[in-house]
Amino acid sequence: MSKPLKSSFIDHINMEVKDLEQSVTFYKNLFGFEIKKEQPEEKSKIIGNANIKLCLYENPEMKPEGAITHFGFHVENFDEIIMTCKSLGVTIHYDGPVQFEKSRSIYISDPNGYDIELSEVFGDGL
């Protein structure tokens, strides 16, 4: 029996988006993500920071089949989330933070309908 791979972080997430520029602006304004690579021949950009990379591919006709339920980011400045989201016009679901056993999370959606969990404690302390 082989040993399981030891993964410690998500390397990147590839996502279809309806509007590439709208999505880049959303992630730039909310998370401070930078454009890491432009791929105009593919209508694509790789954005992120030192720890997170999102590969965004424009498809105005994207459908929800096979969609990600949600993905989560650990947020170091968790107490600033509500103020930041409100200032950017980002809707917070469930009327604010959801309390878990070891952490709190806030849920939002990006312009394409992908749900994003913003967590206080990395991996919910698991």
Identity of the amino acid at 13 = I
What is the reported pTM? 0.77
Cα 116 from Cα 49, distance rounded (Å): 17
Q: According to the model, what pLDDT value does residue 7 have?
A: 61
- 3-state class (DSSP) for residue 105: strand
Alpha helices in the chain (DSSP H): 20-31, 81-88
Cα 33 from Cα 46, distance rounded (Å): 10
pLDDT in tens, 72-101: 888 888 999 999 999 999 999 999 999 988
Q: According to the model, what pLDDT value does residue 51 have?
A: 86
pLDDT in tens, 3-39: 665 666 776 888 999 999 999 999 999 999 999 999 9
